[in-house]
Amino acid sequence: MPDRKSVAAALKNQRIETPSWAYGNSGTRFKTFLQEGIPRDPFEKLDDAAQVHAFTGVAPSVALHIPWDRVDDYAALAEHATSLGLRLGAINPNTFQEDEYRLGSICNPDPAVREKALGHLLECVDIMDVTGSDALSLWFADGLNYPGQDSLAERQQRLSEALRVAYDRLGPDQRMLLEYKFFEPAFYATDVPDWGTSYAHCLDLGERAQVLVDTGHHAPGTNIEFIVAFLLGRGRLGGFHFNSRFYADDDLMVGAADPFQLFRIMHEIVRAGALSDSANVAFMLDQCHNLEPKIPALIRSVLNVQEATAKALLVDGDALAAAQRDGDVLGANAVLMDAYNTDVRPLLAEVREDMGIDPDPIAAYHRSGYAEKITATRKDGTPAGWGA
Amino acid sequence: MPDRKSVAAALKNQRIETPSWAYGNSGTRFKTFLQEGIPRDPFEKLDDAAQVHAFTGVAPSVALHIPWDRVDDYAALAEHATSLGLRLGAINPNTFQEDEYRLGSICNPDPAVREKALGHLLECVDIMDVTGSDALSLWFADGLNYPGQDSLAERQQRLSEALRVAYDRLGPDQRMLLEYKFFEPAFYATDVPDWGTSYAHCLDLGERAQVLVDTGHHAPGTNIEFIVAFLLGRGRLGGFHFNSRFYADDDLMVGAADPFQLFRIMHEIVRAGALSDSANVAFMLDQCHNLEPKIPALIRSVLNVQEATAKALLVDGDALAAAQRDGDVLGANAVLMDAYNTDVRPLLAEVREDMGIDPDPIAAYHRSGYAEKITATRKDGTPAGWGA
Amino acid sequence: MPDRKSVAAALKNQRIETPSWAYGNSGTRFKTFLQEGIPRDPFEKLDDAAQVHAFTGVAPSVALHIPWDRVDDYAALAEHATSLGLRLGAINPNTFQEDEYRLGSICNPDPAVREKALGHLLECVDIMDVTGSDALSLWFADGLNYPGQDSLAERQQRLSEALRVAYDRLGPDQRMLLEYKFFEPAFYATDVPDWGTSYAHCLDLGERAQVLVDTGHHAPGTNIEFIVAFLLGRGRLGGFHFNSRFYADDDLMVGAADPFQLFRIMHEIVRAGALSDSANVAFMLDQCHNLEPKIPALIRSVLNVQEATAKALLVDGDALAAAQRDGDVLGANAVLMDAYNTDVRPLLAEVREDMGIDPDPIAAYHRSGYAEKITATRKDGTPAGWGA
Amino acid sequence: MPDRKSVAAALKNQRIETPSWAYGNSGTRFKTFLQEGIPRDPFEKLDDAAQVHAFTGVAPSVALHIPWDRVDDYAALAEHATSLGLRLGAINPNTFQEDEYRLGSICNPDPAVREKALGHLLECVDIMDVTGSDALSLWFADGLNYPGQDSLAERQQRLSEALRVAYDRLGPDQRMLLEYKFFEPAFYATDVPDWGTSYAHCLDLGERAQVLVDTGHHAPGTNIEFIVAFLLGRGRLGGFHFNSRFYADDDLMVGAADPFQLFRIMHEIVRAGALSDSANVAFMLDQCHNLEPKIPALIRSVLNVQEATAKALLVDGDALAAAQRDGDVLGANAVLMDAYNTDVRPLLAEVREDMGIDPDPIAAYHRSGYAEKITATRKDGTPAGWGA
pLDDT digits 0-9 by tens, A160-209? 999 999 999 999 999 999 999 999 999 999 999 999 999 999 999 999 99
pLDDT digits 0-9 by tens, C206-261? 999 999 999 999 999 999 999 999 999 999 999 999 999 999 878 899 999 999 99
List chains adjacent to chain C, taking adjacency as at least 3 C-beta pairs closer than 8 Å.
A, B, D
Q: Please judge whether A252 and B187 are an interchain contact, meaning their C-beta atoms are less than 8 angstroms apart.
A: yes
pLDDT digits 0-9 by tens, D244-293? 999 988 889 999 999 999 999 999 999 999 999 899 999 999 999 999 99
Does the CB of D182 have a partner CB in chain C at under 8 Å?
Answer: yes
**Is residue C388's pLDDT more than 70?**
no
Q: Is residue B277 part of a domain?
A: yes
Q: Is residue B177 part of a domain?
A: yes
Query: How sure is the predictor about C341, in pLDDT bands with cuts at 50, 70 and 90?
Result: very high
| Chain D residue with minimum CA distance to A144 | D329
- Which comes out higher in pLDDT, residue A387 or D128? D128
pLDDT at A263: 98
Cβ-based contacts of C146 with chain B (< 8 Å): 329-330, 332-333
Cβ-based contacts of A103 with chain D (< 8 Å): 327, 329
pLDDT at A129: 97
Q: What Å distances lie between residue D2 and A317, C75, D6, D311, D312, CA to CA? A: 62, 76, 7, 11, 10
pLDDT digits 0-9 by tens, A235-272? 999 999 999 999 987 889 999 999 999 999 999 999 99
- Rounded mean pLDDT of A36-50? 98
Closest by Cβ to D260, choosing from B259, B296, B343: B259
Q: Is residue B59 part of a domain?
A: yes
- Rounded mean pLDDT of C30-55? 97
pLDDT digits 0-9 by tens, A337-349? 999 999 999 999 9
Q: Is residue D325 part of a domain?
A: no
pLDDT digits 0-9 by tens, D140-187? 999 999 999 999 999 999 999 999 999 999 999 999 999 999 999 999
Domain that holds residue B47: 14-314+359-378
Q: How many domains does chain C have?
A: 1
Q: Is residue A118 part of a domain?
A: yes
B positions 13-72 inside 8 Å of A (CB): 27-31, 33-34
Q: Is residue D102 part of a domain?
A: yes
pLDDT digits 0-9 by tens, D105-116? 999 999 999 999
ipTM over 0.90: yes
Q: Please judge whether B324 and C148 are an interchain contact, meaning their C-beta atoms are less than 8 angstroms apart.
A: yes
Q: Please judge whether B272 and C153 are an interchain contact, meaning their C-beta atoms are less than 8 angstroms apart.
A: yes
Does the CB of B318 have a partner CB in chain C at under 8 Å?
Answer: no
Query: How sure is the predictor about B2, in pLDDT bands with cuts at 50, 70 and 90?
Result: confident
Q: Please judge whether A29 and B29 are an interchain contact, meaning their C-beta atoms are less than 8 angstroms apart.
A: yes
Within 8 A by CB and 6+ apart from D45, the residues are D20, D23, D24, D39, D62, D69, D384
Report the CATH number that the domain containing residue D208 is assigned in CATH: 3.20.20.150
Q: How are beta strands D87-93 and D209-214 bridged, if at all?
A: unpaired
A positions 270-309 inside 8 Å of C (CB): 291-293, 296-297, 300, 307
* CA separation for the pair B387, C297 (Å, rounded): 55
Does the CB of D343 have a partner CB in chain B at under 8 Å?
Answer: yes
pLDDT digits 0-9 by tens, B152-193? 999 999 999 999 999 999 999 999 999 999 999 999 999 999
Q: What percent of chain B has pLDDT over 90?
A: 97
pLDDT at B363: 98
* CA separation for the pair B245, B96 (Å, rounded): 22
Mean pLDDT of chain D: 97
Within 8 A by CB and 6+ apart from B296, the residues are B362, B365, B366, B371, D330
In three-state form (DSSP H/G/I as H, E/B as E, the rest C), the secondary structure along chain D is CCCHHHHHHHHHHCCCEEEHHHHCECCCCCCCCCCCCCCCCHHHHHHHHHHHHHHHCCCCEEEEEECCCCCCCHHHHHHHHHHCCCEEEEEEECCCCCHHHHHCCCCCCCHHHHHHHHHHHHHHHHHHHHHCCCEEEECCCCEECCCCCCCHHHHHHHHHHHHHHHHHHCCCCCEEEEECCCCCCCCCEECCCCHHHHHHHHHHHCCCEEEEEECCCCCCCCCHHHHHHHHHHCCCEEEEEECECCCCCCCECCCCCCHHHHHHHHHHHHHCCCCCHHHCCEEEECCCCCCCCHHHHHHHHHHHHHHHHHHHHHCCHHHHHHHHHCCCHHHHHHHHHHHHCCCCHHHHHHHHHHHCCCCCHHHHHHHHCHHHHHHHHCCCCCCCECCC
Packed helices A361-368 and A370-377: angle between N→C axes, nearest 10 degrees: 40
Query: How sure is the predictor about A103, in pLDDT bands with cuts at 50, 70 and 90?
Result: very high
Mean pLDDT of chain B: 97
Does the CB of A188 have a partner CB in chain D at under 8 Å?
Answer: yes
Q: Is residue B169 part of a domain?
A: yes
Q: Is residue B253 part of a domain?
A: yes
